[in-house]
Amino acid sequence: MLGLSKKVARSELLRIKHTGTPKAFTDWVKKNILDYGHEVEALARPLVEKIIGDDLYPVTCSDEDGGGKLSASCDGLTLLEDTAFEHKQWNTDLAASVSNNVLPDDHMPQCQQIMLVTGAQRVIFTVSDGTPERLVWMEVLPDANWFERIRAGWAQFDRDLAEYTLPTPAPTVVAEAVQDLPAVTVQVNGQIEVRENFTIFEVALRDFIENKLIREPQTDQDFADLDLQIKAMKKAEETLNAAESMMLAQIQRVDEAKRQKDMLSRLVRDNRLMAEKLLASEKERRRTEKVVAARQAFADHVTELQREISGVRLDIVVPDFAGAIKGLKTMTSIQDKLDTALANGKIAADQQAADLRTKLAWLDTNAADYRALLADLQQLVAKPFDDFKLAVTARIDAHKKAEEARLEAERERIRREEAARLEAEQRQQKEPPAKRKARQSWRRRHRVA
């Protein structure tokens, strides 16, 4: 559902879930791959039990605490459910990677989902043929980021599944046979008599160009047919040139036949070049249209998420849609890769939106009165949640200390002023009445308070 599997495309998984029809396998695959895989898994299990010093039991389970939406099939799980076992048949490349303690991304979701569902603290990922001589293993540990990615991935998959409609089965694209234009013949006898079939060839050529040549390819079928038509016209050019060589080999100069051949050759060549350019440009146009549509769908999704978030903006990297379809030729494969890239982009956007909502909710609860201190909130929300809380809390604490210091300074100023006033009043009370009366009279005359 993350589009990482090399065995099942995300679009194929959507179809399987929508129809409820499991993937079909040939008898050969069942016997030589699936059944054989179970056999070597059973042989490898006791070898791994010796490695970990505990018994392993094959189980299938679901996360009941999470509503049973996620499930996992374990090749082995200990009774304490702290260690899980996952086995893959011997593969030279995979074995080399595991030997270097590197688990390829296409296997990571399975291991992480096993731990997410079972609560296991590790997965012993093993590659073997059931013998001790060809057995390598590595320990895979839980990763919170992968857990969140898996949850978000299944949530996006469920949304896509709810909107899924079964596509019309695309027929196998096989270019329709293109009838070759008539073979060109030219014979010249010793009396300068020319026998040729240019007229017949011209009628067939013009009918082909005017009525059969595809000029607006739309489907994979059209593109395949046009490619074959181009090859037919190229072959016609070659036969015309060969006819010329035959003619000139028999006589040095037959101007009229030569001119007609040149005209027909130009006619074929010009239309062949036009068709080649059309084929290339139409393919590129269709690819571009699909990339633009995917980008717009992603932008619309981000815009919808942004409506739910105020105060900060989502800062999400747009998926590399053009890179995702690099090297692909059919419209079907291009659309599949774009759909997968779009789904993963939406998953990443949903994760970031959920993270921002969590942080903003925490702010509303713990720092609603201090939002003025967070002018750089956009930068702060980019931090991990614990670091974000620490940064905001530290800033609030610093503000409170500064405010307390300011209030204490203000109280100290008031105390000093009050003390000075009381001291002045006490001095006045100690003065002789005549002197105090004279001073008050002087103040009145000079309007001194």
Reported as a single tens digit per residue, the pLDDT across 376-404 is 999 999 999 999 999 999 999 998 899 88
The encoded tokens of residue 155 equal: 């949530």
* CA gyration radius, the chain: 41
The predicted pLDDT at position 191 comes to 57
Can you give the pLDDT at residue 319? 93
- For residue 414, the Cα-to-chain-centroid distance in whole angstroms is 65
Helix (H) or strand (E) holding 99: helix 92-99
Q: Specify whether the CB–CB gap between 374 and 43 falls below 8 A.
A: no
Backbone angles phi, psi at 24, to 5 degrees: -90, 145
**Burial environment of residue 114 by CB neighbours within 10 A (0 to 12, 13 to 18, 19 or more):** buried
Give me the pLDDT at residue 166, please: 80
Number of residues assigned to the chain:
449
Mean pLDDT of 186-201: 70
What confidence score (pLDDT) does residue 323 get? 93
**With bands split at pLDDT 50, 70 and 90, how would you rate the model's confidence at 176?**
low
Please tell me the predicted confidence (pLDDT) of residue 357: 92
User: If we measure between CA atoms, which residue out of 156, 147, 152 comes closest to residue 72?
Assistant: 147
Nearest C-alpha neighbor of 264 from the set 238, 230, 245, 231? 238
Q: What tens digit of pLDDT does each residue of 330-389 get? A: 888 899 999 999 999 999 999 999 999 999 999 999 988 888 888 899 999 999 999 999
Predicted confidence band of residue 10 (pLDDT cuts 50, 70, 90): confident
For residue range 258-289, what is the model confidence (pLDDT) as tens digits? 888 889 899 989 999 999 998 888 888 999 99
- Residue 240: phi and psi, rounded to 5, are -65, -45
Can you tell me the distance from the alpha carbon of 215 to that of 278, in angstroms, rounded to the nearest whole number? Answer: 7
Q: Kindly write down the DSSP assignment for every residue of 19-85, as one continuous string.
A: HTPPPP--HHHIIIIIIHHHHHHHHHHHHHHHHHTS--EEEEEE-GGGTT--EEEEEEE-TTS-EEE
The type of residue at 426 is: Q
pLDDT at 98: 96
Q: How does residue 446 score in pLDDT terms, banded at 50, 70 and 90?
A: low
* Packing angle of the helix pair 331-366, 385-430 (nearest 10 deg): 20
**d(Cα 115, Cα 346) in Å, to the nearest integer?**
24
CA 102 to chain centre: 22
Supply the pTM of this predicted model: 0.60
